Amino acid sequence: MNIILTEDGTNIYYKDWGQGPTVVFSHGWPLTADAWEKQMVYLAANGYRCIAYDRRGHGRSSQPSIGNDMDTYADDLAALIENLELSDIALVGHSTGGGEITRYIGRHGCQRVKRVVLIGSVTPLMLKTDDTPVGLPISVFDDIRSGVSADRSQFYKNLASPFYGANRPDATISEGVREAFWLQGMQGGLLNQLECIKAFSETDFSDDLKKFEIPTLVIHGDDDQIVPIAASALAATTLIKNAILKIYPGGSHGLTDTHKDQLNSDLLAFLKTSAE
C-alpha cells in the first residue's frame, strides 16, 4: 500500500491515480479516500493526477490515541504533500475534509496550493455560539456522540439516509451507496471517530479562511441535512476573498454521489479555468 509516516509515527494511507496537474482530496467524517473514487476516475481520465488519503483514525491509516484534532489533521496533510514533493496543487475537501484543508492553509500557507474547492464544508464553524447563531446546538453533536458510542454500526446505517437525502420523496440514491457509506465508516477506529466529532463541530476556521489567497470554489447543496448551508457555505464565502459559490438546488450532503456528474463537470471546469 502507499503509506507515508508522520513525525508522531502515524501511517497515512493514500491512493495515487493518473498523471498531470495534481489534485489532492480530503474526505468527510466518517468516510475514507474511497468516497472520492468517482471524482478521481473522472479527473484522471481528463489529464489530472488524483491523490486521496485516509485521515488518521479512518480507513487504512493508523488509529492513534493522539492527534485526533484539526491541527494535527492539517499537519498530516502537510506531511503527505511534502513527502510526495507536491506543488501547484488543487486541494478539494468535503465536509470535515473542507475544514482540514482550510486549517492546512491557516497553518502552512498557500505556497504549494494554487486553488481550493470546498464541498459541503464544515467551515467556518458548525457549532452555535453567540457569534454564530445560525450554527447547530451542542446537543446535536452530543447526540451523534451518543449514537456512535451506543451502536456505531446501526448509527451509520441510519445516518446514510439524511446524508444522501434518501429520506426525501424524490430520492434516487441506491442502497448500495448507502451500504458503502456504512462500510467506510466501520473501517475507522471508534476512539478516533468520536474525537473527530469535536474537531469538525467545535473548530472555528474563520481566521484560516481569511488567509486564502488563491482561487476558491465553494459548492453546497441547499437541502444539506448534515451541514446546513447558512452556517457553512453562505458564511464562508463572506470570509474568503473573491470566492465563487455554487449552490446545488435540492442537493444533499453526499454530493460526490448524488450529483456526481454535475460535480465532476464543475470541478473540471474550475481546474481548467483557474489554470489559465
Give yes or no for residue 276 having a pLDDT over 70.
no
Question: What percent of the chain is predicted at pLDDT more than 70?
Answer: 99
Q: Are 77 and 101 in contact (CB under 8 A)?
A: yes
Q: Which residues are catalytic?
A: 95, 224, 253
pLDDT tens for 157-168 read 999 999 999 999
3-class DSSP state of 81: helix
The phi and psi torsions of 28 (rounded to 5 degrees) equal -85, 175
pLDDT tens for 49-107 read 999 999 999 999 999 999 999 999 999 999 999 999 999 999 999 999 999 999 999 99
Domain that holds residue 34: 3-275
What is the average pLDDT across 177-190? 98
Q: Are 226 and 96 in contact (CB under 8 A)?
A: no
pLDDT confidence of 275, banded at 50, 70, 90? low
Structure confidence at residue 73 (pLDDT): 98
Count the domains in the chain: 1
The C-alpha cell at 203 is 473548530
Give yes or no for residue 198 having a pLDDT over 70.
yes
Among candidate residues 5, 181, 187, 18, the one with its CA nearest the CA of residue 95 = 181
| Strand 49-53 to 22-26 pairing | parallel
Give yes or no for residue 36 having a pLDDT over 90.
yes
What CATH number is associated with residue 72? 3.40.50.1820
Global pTM reads 0.97
What's the CA gap between 6 and 9, in Å, rounded? 5
